[in-house]
Amino acid sequence: MYPRRMTLDESLLRSAREAGARWVDGQHRAELAKADYHHTIRRLHVMGASLREIAEALNISHQRVHQIIEATGGTEGWQPHKRATGTLACTFCDQPKDAVANLIAGPGVCICDRCVTSAQRILADPRSPETDRTRLEPAITTSKTRCSFCRKRARDVTSLIAGPGVHICDRCLQLCEEIIIEEARPR
Ligand SMILES: [Zn+2]
Ligand SMILES: [Zn+2]
C-alpha cells in the first residue's frame, strides 16, 4: 500500500553508498596501519631496543609495548640478535658469516639467509628436502625435540625443520625472514 520507493531519495541513497564505501575503506586502512605499527614495534625490539626504550621513544606505556609485542607473536624468547659477536657460522650449512648475505643469530645457534629460504621451501613442500648444500628436512620429533632458537617443544609449534643437530620452528623462520627483509631496507 505504501509507495515505499518514493521515500528513498536517490541522491541521499548515493551519498549513503559513497560514505559506506569510504568507511569500509577507512577501516581497512586503519587495520593495515595498526598492523604496520605493531610489527614495526616488534622489529624494534628484535633489533635490540628494550621495551622501556621503545615506550619512551614512542610515548606509550611499557605495558602497552609488551602487549603489542606479545600480540604480534612475541620475540620467541630470543636474545636480540645484535648481541652476537665473534666468528659466527650458519649452524645448518656451516657457511661463515662473511660468505653469506645475512646470518641471523639465536641463542648459541645461527641460520643464514639461504638456509632460511630453503627451510621455508621445505615447509611449503615437505617432500623435497634440501640435500645440495646441507641436509635440511622436516624434523622427526620426539617429546624432547625443541626449536634451537625459541626452545619451544615440537608439540608446541606447527612445524619444525631439522638441520645437522639443530632445529628451527616455523615461527622462528618467519621472524628470521622479517629480520632479513628489515636489514635489506635502505636506511
Ligand atoms: Zn646456512
Ligand atoms: Zn622456534
For residue 43, the CA-to-ligand 1 centroid distance in Å is: 22
pLDDT tens for 102-112 read 888 877 789 99
Task: Provide the H-helix boundaries in 47-112.
Answer: 51-58, 62-71
The ligand with the least distance to the CA atom of 90 is 1
The ligand with the least distance to the CA atom of 119 is 1
For residue 77, the CA-to-ligand 2 centroid distance in Å is: 9
8, 11, 13, 87 from 2: Cα distances, Å: 12, 21, 19, 84
For residue 11, the CA-to-ligand 2 centroid distance in Å is: 56
> Would the pTM count as exceeding 0.75?
no
Q: In degrees rounded to 5, what are phi and psi of residue 162?
A: -105, 135
Residue, of 77 and 12, whose pLDDT is higher: 12
pLDDT of residue 91: 92
Find cell 646441507 and name the residue: 134
Q: How many CA atoms lie within 13 A of 29 on its CB side?
A: 6
- Decide if pLDDT at 90 tops 50: yes
pLDDT of residue 170: 93
Mean pLDDT across 36-53: 85
Residues contacting 121, CB < 8 A, separation 6+: 128, 130
Residues contacting 10, CB < 8 A, separation 6+: none
pLDDT tens for 47-79 read 778 889 999 999 999 889 888 887 776 665 665
For residue 107, the CA-to-ligand 1 centroid distance in Å is: 16
- Decide if pLDDT at 181 tops 80: yes
